[in-house]
């Protein structure tokens, strides 16, 4: 086939891939089975299509039949058919029987090419039997699969979890990076300095756009960090380390080898102390090259280096407790050890969500911008799933909240989320209504509101005919219903210097809203 010409195998796969499962299994597969060897070779893309389409839409009752078909193809005289079957088996979901069949073939073949593809399949589906075979001594191709198989066995036999209250006592040289949207770093810094859980345990070492760096001062737990609500993610930056000795030393790396340097940092005593203190079970992680895409080849090389240095730290692709973010920097790359907590324990009230809902740390920042006043009566004119109201309730001093939204689904979700918050001492009213009509209905009364807090729709994810008109109406309504001295706190997508004469701007902070700047603003209603 000449360069630039269409690939017949790829064209056939694309055609078969578009078929429904019944068409593929009841029409195309029998046709493949009845074909002569040359026709089967030309139609080998069917095997790939069967694996992919079944994994997406195949009925469970066909699973055993598909497995048996693929196992039979492992013994086909045509090597490429065998290889396609090996690749398709993991997509179907193979068990101990399929694992035993692949291991038997691996032991019986002397062809390196066949061993290579069998090892790739066992890397994906291998369990305890494959791990035992590797540990007993096996050809290099299968030995290369040890880390993934070991991780798979650990995932199945002893699922890992993060320890929220276990103290890390040896934190020498460690930095803690709190990341979030650019523009919110001031809120994160002030919260870290004021928090009872953080005070005395951490010192703010550095503040940059989207990043607050903390230095530990005393033993701390993950729970101490997650008592803070304004940051997005947390990452631990290990301190200076002595490169560990590998169990099977590779060739000495060149000093400028970035993979070797990153591997040494991941497997360093400083990193291992963090992993061991905060992990219950096997330490499993995934690699994430920030701003560089998947980097599959680089991930494989780096994970292999780490495993050679420290075999108890396992690279894995599923249900990991840690993500290691490789951050680009001025002098190469820096790594951060990020715990995977899903759901985020800070926002367990968020049982359901709506399109264009506020990110919870942003809602927490808006609540902190509003400040705390006793016996607060709060309204969110665009309540969505209710995050701003609930974050304000968590700060204390709230007597009653009101939430309005035009979407009935949003009102139902906000009610359910607030029920999960279990703030029984706070009176709640959630009403389906346009914010312009809600005060006139008499629900709010006159001069009762002390705070309006909201992240209004901005016309990007939910279309709006006139964003400026909506914002002007919001300021007009706020000026009418707030009591003198009451506050309006909002995310404003528009630059508006004097939106209403009764409202005085007291604070404005530009924040990155994902490609465009928005302003977090605090207004206070002037006395009459």
SS3 call for 503? strand
**What is the rounded distance in angstroms from the CA atom of residue 259 to the CA atom of residue 59?**
43
**What is the rounded distance in angstroms from the CA atom of residue 248 to the CA atom of residue 76?**
38
Among residues 237, 258, 290, the one where a domain terminates is 237
Q: Residue 255: what pLDDT?
A: 47
Q: Average the pLDDT over 16-33 and give the result.
A: 95
SS3 call for 199? strand
Same domain, 232 and 363: no
When pLDDT is cut at 50, 70 and 90, the band that residue 4 belongs to is low
When pLDDT is cut at 50, 70 and 90, the band that residue 253 belongs to is very low
Residue 308 covered by a domain: no
Q: Residue 123: what pLDDT?
A: 81
Q: In terms of Cα–Cα distance, which of 227, 307, 234, 230 is closest to 274?
A: 234
**What is the rounded distance in angstroms from the CA atom of residue 373 to the CA atom of residue 479?**
19
pLDDT at 127 over 60: yes
Same domain, 509 and 423: yes
Structure-model confidence comparison of residues 3 and 9, the more confident one: 9
Q: Average the pLDDT over 201-215 and give the result.
A: 97
When pLDDT is cut at 50, 70 and 90, the band that residue 5 belongs to is low
Q: Which residues contact 474 (CB under 8 A, 6 or more apart)?
A: 381, 435, 454, 456, 490
When pLDDT is cut at 50, 70 and 90, the band that residue 95 belongs to is confident
Residue 338 covered by a domain: no
| Sheet-wide strand order for 313-315 | 202-208, 211-216, 175-179, 233-237, 332-339, 322-329, 283-289, 313-315
Same domain, 374 and 226: no
When pLDDT is cut at 50, 70 and 90, the band that residue 510 belongs to is very high
Same domain, 353 and 471: yes
Q: Residue 513: what pLDDT?
A: 93
Q: Residue 206: what pLDDT?
A: 96
Q: Residue 273: what pLDDT?
A: 97
User: Residue 182 — φ and ψ, nearest 5°?
Assistant: -60, 130
Same domain, 370 and 425: yes
Q: If you write DSSP's letter for every residue of 22-86 in order, what string do you get? A: HHIIIIIHHHHHHS-HHHHHHTTHHHHHHHHHHHHH--GGGHHHHHHHHHHHTT-SSHHHHHHHH
Question: Angle at which helices 128-135 and 146-157 pack, to 10 degrees?
Answer: 140
Q: Residue 126: what pLDDT?
A: 84
Q: Residue 447: what pLDDT?
A: 60
CA of 110: how far to CAs of 124, 144, 374, 468, in Å? 21, 17, 79, 73
Same domain, 66 and 142: yes
Q: Average the pLDDT over 403-429 and give the result.
A: 95
Residue 340 covered by a domain: no
DSSP state of 328: E
**Are β-strands 398-405 and 449-454 bridged in parallel, bridged antiparallel, or unpaired?**
unpaired
Q: Residue 1: what pLDDT?
A: 45
How would you class 137 by CB atoms within 10 Å of its CB: exposed for 0-12, middle for 13-18, buried for 19 or more? Answer: exposed
Same domain, 132 and 219: no
Residue 286 covered by a domain: no
**Least confidently predicted of 54-63, 253-262, 518-527:** 253-262
Question: Angle at which helices 112-125 and 79-92 pack, to 10 degrees?
Answer: 10
Q: In terms of Cα–Cα distance, which of 101, 52, 95, 100 is closest to 75?
A: 101
Q: ω into residue 343 within 30 of 0, thus cis?
A: yes
Same domain, 113 and 225: no
Q: Partners of 213 in the beta sheet?
A: 177, 206
Q: Which residues contact 155 (CB under 8 A, 6 or more apart)?
A: 282, 284, 316, 318, 319
Same domain, 153 and 191: no
Structure-model confidence comparison of residues 40 and 118, the more confident one: 40
Residue 280 covered by a domain: no
Among residues 111, 131, 157, the one where a domain terminates is 157
Residue 419 covered by a domain: yes
Structure-model confidence comparison of residues 110 and 170, the more confident one: 170
SS3 call for 392? helix
Among residues 201, 221, 237, the one where a domain terminates is 237
pLDDT at 310 over 80: yes
Q: Residue 44: what pLDDT?
A: 95
**Are β-strands 202-208 and 211-216 bridged in parallel, bridged antiparallel, or unpaired?**
antiparallel
Residue 169 covered by a domain: no
Rg (CA), the chain: 29
**Least confidently predicted of 97-106, 132-141, 356-365, 392-401:** 132-141
The whole-model pTM stands at: 0.84
pLDDT at 270 over 50: yes
**Least confidently predicted of 42-56, 393-407, 448-462, 470-484:** 448-462
Same domain, 129 and 194: no
pLDDT at 139 over 70: no
At 36-79, the pLDDT tens digits run 999 999 999 999 999 999 999 999 999 999 999 999 998 899 98
Residue 398 covered by a domain: yes
CA geometry: angle at 123 spanning 63 and 136, to 5°? 120
pLDDT at 307 over 70: yes
Q: Residue 197: what pLDDT?
A: 83
- Name the residue range of residue 197's domain: 175-237
Displacement of CA 269 from its chain's centroid (Å): 27
Number of independent structural domains in the chain: 3
Q: Average the pLDDT over 360-375 and give the result.
A: 94
Q: If you write DSSP's letter for every residue of 254-318 in order, what string do you get? A: PTT-HHHHHHHHHTSHHHHHHHHHHEES-EEEEEEETTS---HHHHHHHHHHHHHH-TTEEE-SS
Structure-model confidence comparison of residues 489 and 103, the more confident one: 489
Q: Residue 242: what pLDDT?
A: 43
Q: Residue 264: what pLDDT?
A: 94
pLDDT at 330 over 70: no
**Least confidently predicted of 317-331, 360-374, 398-412, 510-524:** 317-331
The answer to whether 377 and 451 have CB atoms below 8 angstroms apart is yes
pLDDT at 250 over 60: no
What is the domain-level CATH number for residue 474? 3.40.50.150
Same domain, 184 and 144: no
Structure-model confidence comparison of residues 468 and 126, the more confident one: 468
Same domain, 179 and 145: no
Mean pLDDT of the chain: 89
The answer to whether 88 and 45 have CB atoms below 8 angstroms apart is no
């Amino acid at each position: 086939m000449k360069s630039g010409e269409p690939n017949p195998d790829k064209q056939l796969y694309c055609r078969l891939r578009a078929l429904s499962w019944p068409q593929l299994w009841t029409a195309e597969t029998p046709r493949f089975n009845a074909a002569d060897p040359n026709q089967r070779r030309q139609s080998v893309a069917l095997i790939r299509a069967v694996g992919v389409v079944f994994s997406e839409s195949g009925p469970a009752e066909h699973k055993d039949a598909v497995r048996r078909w693929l196992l039979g193809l492992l013994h086909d005289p045509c090597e490429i058919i065998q290889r396609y079957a090996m690749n398709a088996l993991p997509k179907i979901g193979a068990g101990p029987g399929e694992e035993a069949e692949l291991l038997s073939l691996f032991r019986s073949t002397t062809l390196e090419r066949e061993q290579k593809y069998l090892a790739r399949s066992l890397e994906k589906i291998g369990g305890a039997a494959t791990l035992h075979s590797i540990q007993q001594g096996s050809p290099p191709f299968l030995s290369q699969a040890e880390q993934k198989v070991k991780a798979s066995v650990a995932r199945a036999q002893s699922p890992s979890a993060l320890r929220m209250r276990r103290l890390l006592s040896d934190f020498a040289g460690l930095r803690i990076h709190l990341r979030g949207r650019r523009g919110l770093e001031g809120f994160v810094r002030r919260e870290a300095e004021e928090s009872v859980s953080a005070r005395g345990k951490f010192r703010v070492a550095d503040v940059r756009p989207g990043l607050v760096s903390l230095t530990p001062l005393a033993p701390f737990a993950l729970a101490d960090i997650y008592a803070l609500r304004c940051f997005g993610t947390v990452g631990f930056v290990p301190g200076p380390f002595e490169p560990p000795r590998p169990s099977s030393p590779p060739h000495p790396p060149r000093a400028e080898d970035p993979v070797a340097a990153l591997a040494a940092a991941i497997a360093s005593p400083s990193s291992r102390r963090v992993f061991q203190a905060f992990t219950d079970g096997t330490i499993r992680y995934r690699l994430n090259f920030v701003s560089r895409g998947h980097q599959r080849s680089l991930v494989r090389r780096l994970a292999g280096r780490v495993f050679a240095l420290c075999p108890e730290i396992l690279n894995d692709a599923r249900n990991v407790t840690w993500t290691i973010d490789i951050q680009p920097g001025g002098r190469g790359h820096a790594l951060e050890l990020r715990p995977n907590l899903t759901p985020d324990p800070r926002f367990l009230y968020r049982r359901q969500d709506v399109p264009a809902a506020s990110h919870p740390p942003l809602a927490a920042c808006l609540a902190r911008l509003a400040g705390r006043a006793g016996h607060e009566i709060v309204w969110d004119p665009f309540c969505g799933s209710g995050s701003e109201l609930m974050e304000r309730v968590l700060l204390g001093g709230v007597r009653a909240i009101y939430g309005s939204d035009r979407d009935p689904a949003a009102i139902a979700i906000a009610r359910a989320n607030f029920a999960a918050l279990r703030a029984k001492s706070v009176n709640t009213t959630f009403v389906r209504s346009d914010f312009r009509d809600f005060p006139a209905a008499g629900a709010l009364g006159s001069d009762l509101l002390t705070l309006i807090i909201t992240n209004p729709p901005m016309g990007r994810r939910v279309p709006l005919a006139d964003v400026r008109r909506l914002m002007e109406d919001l300021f007009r309504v706020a000026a009418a219903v707030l009591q003198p001295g009451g506050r309006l706190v909002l995310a404003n997508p528009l630059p508006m210097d004097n939106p209403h004469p009764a409202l005085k701007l007291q604070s404005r902070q530009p924040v990155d809203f994902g490609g465009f700047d928005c302003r977090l603003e605090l207004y206070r209603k002037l006395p009459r």
